[in-house]
Chains A and B, each alone.
Chain A
């Protein structure tokens, strides 16, 4: 553990990503206690107020300005991050558990089970993920639960593929063979012996998937298929602010920067974790 943090301190990019992720997660968790204005309260007198630092006339303190209904943009971004990060985290965990378990099963049993599972992966990959998400959301209707289901549906196959490959190699190792020899059951071998050994690659994939899912979630809510108003969401803020692009540039600019910084920091952390734990994963996408 100590050497892990020492290595993290040495890598500038990894440390930058780690600190930024920490800041974003803390801001999301502590959002109600930060003294920010209520994100859903509109104030028609203070509509489309420019950010304070631009020097333009600005009643009240709005560091990033207000939107078309006079709602504080900074507060909406911070509160929006709660929703986005919660959905993305839930989707990563759900997709990760399903994908990892199926990957272990496919790699351990091989044969028919493996062939069928990998065929399903191939077939699903034939449908661009965004279209799959649109099709399923159109069928189920937009809601937070459906969004989590759809996002994890686009994610499980990456774990399944990579973990399967790892298990195929692991199952020939001595410690698995000896577990067999002393009569350990199939489940015991999969859960007690294989699972702990694929946790590291699963964690690396999860971090990189988190970044992809945050962008996809923003894209879906940009199209109006994500979290429904009045809950603030980054994609929705972009979609609503787009109409006012010629008069109030700040409405569309800052939510996008929030997405960019979040994805960038998660990516940097993920890249570093991958290089630290297992550089071979680089070629397996």
Chain B
């Protein structure tokens, strides 16, 4: 188990290094920070002296080394727009994004797992048909459009929930529901097919044959194994929720990390773009680490490999 743990943590560190490297080299394409920092029309002499002050005249690999070091310390430079450290600006928005993603993940998983289990256990009935149609539609619907449609029905027509913003639980309902639909559709389809696969296994027949209660067989022999692919899926979904936060937070004017990254792109506020992307990637890497470890707990074969 210790070796498994060490290998997984090593992989995560490598991934963080990779992401920071991607961010550094893409940001060098984005433009010359010295030109961006100075007011429009600044002379070449001013640009050169600022470049020297910022160390931008050093060889690129030396710059890479130093910025790698400062990025690992969480220093992404000052936000052009907010005049504060970029990481600070991004970190402030993290709780809002985390709350939205967690709400969607919890409710989406509960709904999706229930629906998927019903579909698998009631094979060939109308309930399975309804669940499958709903899941197919849920997977094909672009989340941002679903969000707009929910606003149209529940805010514009019925006036039950606010169209956007944050503050009260009522603000959380529509964006949370939008993302939960997306989450539950993927989980329902996956859990159904993995349950159906496992129910065909010999050891399940053996467990039934030796006279165990159906409930015991379901929870101890079937559900436990069928959950393994679902755990992997939750890791993938977490990434899509974090990346998709840019879109959904734009639709609902939700003050999270996605929205601040989008604003930073519009204002060419590169330190904030870099800090935002790096932070989200780091969180995603940690989530995947947890998923991998959980996987090892659920399936002992993996950690012994």
Q: Interface residues, chain A, CB within 8 Å of chain B?
A: 119-120, 122-132, 134-136, 138-140, 211, 215, 218-219, 222-223, 225, 238, 242, 245-246, 249, 252-253, 255-256, 259-261, 263-264, 267-268, 282-283, 285
Contact = CB atoms under 8 A, between A and B. Distances in A.
Contacts of B145: 218, 238, 252, 255-256, 259-260
Interface residues of B, number: 50
Contact of A134 (B152, B194, B239, B246): B246
Given A126-B18, A283-B229, A134 B244 contact: no
Contacts of B61: none
A261 B265 CA distance: 31
B68 interface: no
A260 B142 contact: yes
Contacts of A267: 136, 139-140
Contacts of A264: 136-137, 140
B173 interface: no
B155 to A, nearest CB: 9
Contacts of A122: 11, 14-15
Contacts, number: 135
Contacts of B242: 128, 131
A125 to B, nearest CB: 8
A128 B257 CA distance: 14
Which 10 A-B pairs have CB atoms at the shortest separation, nearest pair first? A128-B243, A123-B18, A130-B243, A256-B145, A264-B140, A126-B15, A263-B140, A139-B29, A128-B239, A138-B265
A123 B148 contact: no
Interface stretch (B19-27, B43-51, B294-302): B19-27
Interface stretch (B75-83, B206-214, B217-225, B278-286): B278-286
A162 to B, nearest CB: 15
Residue from B142, B193, B281 whose CB has the most chain A CB atoms within 10 Å:
B142
B250 A223 contact: yes
Nearest to A126: B15
Contact of B142 (A119, A124, A126, A256): A256
Given A135-B26, A138-B30, A283-B229, A128 B142 contact: no
B148 A238 contact: yes
B247 interface: yes
Contact of B140 (A211, A238, A246): A211
